[in-house]
Amino acid sequence: MTSLVIALIVVAVLALISIALSLHIIQQYEKAVVFRFGRVVGEKGPGLAVIIPVVNTLRKVSFRIVTMPIQSQGIITRDNVSIDVSAVAYYKVVAATKSVVSI
């Protein structure tokens, strides 16, 4: 009787762990690229995504606009005037699969 209870507890714990590994929440501003054994299977949109824990992997891609400050640089012009130039780069991902696979 006690071995049956222990076996049921172990099975329940393993089931909870596998459910926790298979469920992923994808936010409204994200998409997910699903890989099966390293090959692209497809994309999943916002919401709840269910994958096979050992076989599939999920990579989330944010579609928000990202700002990257570029360090200011000092430049000397042709007429020997010193100028400090600062810049900000903006980028936004358009295709989730291409952004993960191509880079």
- Which residue has tokens 């640089």? 73
Query: Number of structural domains, the chain?
Result: 1
Task: Please classify residue 33 by burial: count the beta carbons closer than 10 Å to its beta carbon, then call 0-12 exposed, 13-18 middle and 19+ buried.
Answer: buried
pLDDT of 14: 93
Cα 26–Cα 30–Cα 35 angle in degrees, nearest 5: 70
Strand partners, 60: 32
pLDDT of 9: 94
Expressed as residue numbers, the domain containing 50 is 2-101
> 3-62, pLDDT tens digit by residue?
899 999 999 999 999 999 999 999 999 999 999 999 999 999 999 999 998 899 999 999
Ranking 11-15, 64-68, 77-81 by mean pLDDT, the lowest is 77-81
Task: Indicate the Cα dihedral angle 48, 52, 54, 56, nearest 10°.
Answer: -70
Reply yes or no on whether the pLDDT at 64 is more than 80: yes
